[in-house]
Structure 1
Amino acid sequence: MTSSPTDLPAPARIAIMGAGAVGCYYGGMLARAGHSVVLIGRPAHVQAVQRDGLRLQTQSFDERIRLEASCDAAAVAGAQLVLMSVKSTDTEAAAEQLRPHLAPDALIVTLQNGVDNARRLRAALPGQAVAAAVVYVAVEMAGPGHVRHHGRGELLLEPAPASAAAADLLNRSGVPTQISADAEAALWTKLVINCAYNALSAIARQPYGPLVQQAGVAQVMDDVVGECLAVARAENVVLSEPKIREAVHGLARSMPAQYSSTAQDLMRGRGTEIDHLNGHIVRRGAAHGIPTPANRVLHTLVHLVQHQPSHD
């Protein structure tokens, strides 16, 4: 019998598209809880998982979890829940790869950075149920097939068909998940925080704690946040400026040893999502006639670092 879009069987078949640190953490937690999980990712990572299982190293356990892994998007076939965790730059390409293999009643939950991935997925996959999730987790790939968890892990999910069932499944798997009609504001709040930290952490190659102690950094962050809030207002997104600024300043206190995802990408020689962070603010600011010089400089500098030739 085919499940309706508002139901998810237990155990469920779940696919992680773009299984990097974030996707592997949630995939590992779901597999650990007994669900049938397939990770779709890069060859070196997939081979390590196929050979040894996924090593999930958290603050409370360090285990090797057996689950499926593949480099082929066709592995999504039969999944009732698809967690999308590819880079925001790859959203449309990933949707194109998935389209022939998706079950019509599958729910796609985007775990990606940025604020427009759910909209882009709905445009690329008409009729498919899509929900944006706001991700609060500090994780890194410590090597092929090895995820290291540094803290948090909760999700905020926007309402959609099967959102309630997905939230229940995630909660039962040790992933605190809430459904919120204010998911868009939460996505924007995370975007503002990412704009304040990601580029600076990447350019300086410093974690958040030492970074904010450097001369001038707090002032640059304040400039970035002010521009982001102006753009958010123009986009009719209601944010509390005092709460945003407190969240920005509080991040370095709560995650002093964390490097931004942009810093991790640059240190691994990979492309970044900066176009969907500070770059998004620059583009939307231009559309509304709002100057965004601080975001523009950070966006440009990350591109310069990202594309500089190797001297090895």
Structure 2
Amino acid sequence: MKVAVMGAGAVGCYYGGMLARAGHEVVLIARPQHVEAIRRDGLRMETRSFDEPVRLAASSEPEAVQGADLVLFCVKSTDTESAGAQIRPLLSADALVLCLQNGVDNADRLRAVLPGTAVAAAVVYVATEMAGPGHVRHHGRGELVIEPAGHGNNSSQAVAQAFIAAGVPTELSDNVRGALWAKLILNCAYNAVSAIAQLPYGQTVQGVGIQDVMRDVVAECLAVAKAEGVQVQGDAHAAVEKLAASMPSQYSSTAQDLARGKRSEIDYLNGLIVKRGEALGVATPANRVLWALVKLLEGKAR
């Protein structure tokens, strides 16, 4: 496949790099400092099983999506509409756009911007970070859950097979909405706490009272999901308890954003739970406190 990664940060570089390593033609659309390093040295992929440079194309211009069979859409949730509008006139008629983003509504928002384009939501379970220009570090996991979309060689099924062949565990699901909510609950439990403390998951859960706070956050999220009519996949409380053990050294994306003085996606995580709770008459005090504190720190950083 010809693959373009729109918004190639840690997540986009990891999945784009895995596809490139498997022989697909990949271009990363990223910030200039990453583009320069990748063009010079390749993308350094530091994972648990290998550490090597991967040769692929890189650009800082959205025009690089032209001709792509598959677009991995990895921009921040705050930029979904604007980035979608940038690539809209450039997409091939049969391209599949796969949303590899945090939050539960990005695919719906993107479909509104890209009418007539096949857009598929995906749930991403991976711990990654950009360790430097053109250097992605993988801390663990990497599974994808994708909803059916598209046709033929550019269908979700074909894309899933390509990911599996590239060493990325991938499955198709008719209940991606439920899986996205399950991921959202994990993010609501961990992201803000990791960001406020600037600590990795393994250390945050050892804080006095933190696991009780996380249980309160999860309970509120489940109450909002139930009011929304969402069937959340799996046992959310058990998943939250297990996450720190599977990614003990991982800092949340929100923590990484705050450390770099960048705007985070907190409005689409705990903030979304607060907003939907207000609309549905569900109290969300724990989520509200975490959301408000992260917003305060964002303002301080700016």
Q: Normalised by the shorter chain, which TM-score bucket?
A: over 0.9
Tell me what 2:294 maps to: 302
Tell me what 1:216 maps to: 209
Identify which of 132, 146, 155 aligns with 2:144. 155
> Given the alignment of the two structures, is residue 76 of structure 1 paired with residue 33 of structure 2, yes or no?
no
Tell me what 1:48 maps to: 37
Same amino acid, percent of matched pairs: 64
Change (3 A) 1:292 1:44: same
Identify which of 54, 60, 67 aligns with 2:49. 60
1:73-222 correspondence runs (5 A): 73-161=62-150, 162-222=155-215
Return the letter of the residue paired with 1:274: I
Q: Distance in 2 between matches of 1:200 and 1:63?
A: 33
Q: Which runs of 5+ in 2 are unaligned?
A: none
Tell me what 2:285 maps to: 293
Contact 2:39–2:58 under 8 Å retained in 1: yes
Q: How many residues end up aligned between the 2 structures?
A: 298
Pairwise CA distance, 1:112: 0.0
Q: Distance in 1 between matches of 2:75 and 2:209?
A: 33
Tell me what 1:247 maps to: 239
Deviations 1:70-124 (A, max 9, x none): 1110100000000000000000010011011000110000000000001001111
1:228-243 correspondence runs (5 A): 228-239=221-232, 243=235
Task: Compute the TM-score of the two structures, normalised by the length of structure 2.
Answer: 0.97
Q: Distance in 2 between matches of 1:240 and 1:25?
A: 25
Deviations 1:269-291 (A, max 9, x none): 21111010001101111111111
Identify which of 19, 39, 52 aligns with 2:28. 39
Tell me what 1:5 maps to: none
Q: Distance in 2 between matches of 1:34 and 1:196?
A: 37
Deviates more, 1:291-300 or 1:111-120: 291-300
**Structure 1 residue ranges (4+ consecutive) displaced by more than 6 angstroms after TM superposition:** none
SS of equivalent residue, structure 2 residue 287: helix
Q: Which runs of 5+ in 1 are unaligned?
A: 1-11
Tell me what 1:282 maps to: 274
Return the letter of the residue paired with 1:261: S
SS of equivalent residue, structure 1 residue 89: helix
Q: Distance in 1 between matches of 2:301 and 2:51?
A: 38
Identify which of 14, 24, 30 aligns with 2:3. 14
Return the letter of the residue paired with 1:164: Q
Task: Compute the TM-score of the two structures, normalised by the length of structure 1.
Answer: 0.94
SS of equivalent residue, structure 1 residue 185: helix
